[in-house]
Amino acid sequence: MTRAPRIGLTTYYKEAAWGVWRRPAAIVPAVYVEAVAAAGGTPLLLPPTGLDPGVLDVLDGLVLIGGADVDAAQYGQAPHPSTAPEPVRDAPELALARAALQARVPLLAICRGVQVLNVALGGTLHQHLPEQLGHTAYQPDPGVFGEVAFRTEPGSRIATVLGAEAASPCYHHQGVDRVADGLRVTARSADGVVQALEPETGGWALGVQFHPEENPADRRLFLALTAQARRRAETRTDHRTDPLSKENAHP
């Protein structure tokens, strides 16, 4: 193929500062962009406002990035006092997750992303894990990453990529509770927290509760995503099937 696979990244919608300006912006931490690029992909940022699942037609892969809590109303619960949603992201990302699975677009869902994936298919979340677990190891302090060790299920996608055991930076206070129909748990930490989910059928998709992008020494999950995205892109080597190709452009 003559181009790198195009990997979409969902984004925050937050107040940001640049130069003399401080205004609302669609942003993504650079570590995600760098991880995709280092794995050989072309990162494309997807703002929540105006985001339509039809964007998948021009993507070869998708990363649902971390961020604010999913609104508890999305899975039929009242919010916990600690729940801090960013509702503008919820509806478009839930729709995008469902569409990606249906279209078999390779998907890596990270932290909030795995929670979006679970809720999109009808699952629920623990809204405040410290109450469940009696510790704050997953979010030691504001802006401070923890580290989680976990075991993977034999034969799973995550086991194929990371092996039987692995560890990663983490930063979250919520987690998967009831697993949605069609998903299965493929990694847990010693305290029982779900660390990975995978669809039981369909294309390549993996949701992880931890933050692999924060470990630049280990790009294996991003390399796996990009490899799957490259296979999808290769089906477009006949440029007539690529919506962004020059041959397919309007005169």
Catalytic member of 93, 111, 170, 198: 111
d(CA 151, CA 159): 9
SS3 of 202, please?
coil
SS3 of 110, please?
strand
Catalytic member of 93, 170, 198, 213: 213
- 211 in active site: yes
Is there a contact between 176 and 194 (Cβ–Cβ < 8 Å)? yes
Q: Which letter does DSSP use for residue 73 in this model?
A: G
Locate all alpha helices (DSSP H) within 104-163, ordered by sequence. 112-120, 129-133, 157-162
∠ CA 93-2-38, nearest 5°, is 55
Residue type, 92: P
Structural tokens at position 153: 């299920």
d(CA 68, CA 113): 10
d(CA 171, CA 194): 14
Q: Which residues pair with 63 in a beta bridge?
A: 9, 108
Catalytic member of 126, 172, 173, 211: 211
Which residues are known catalytic residues? 111, 211, 213
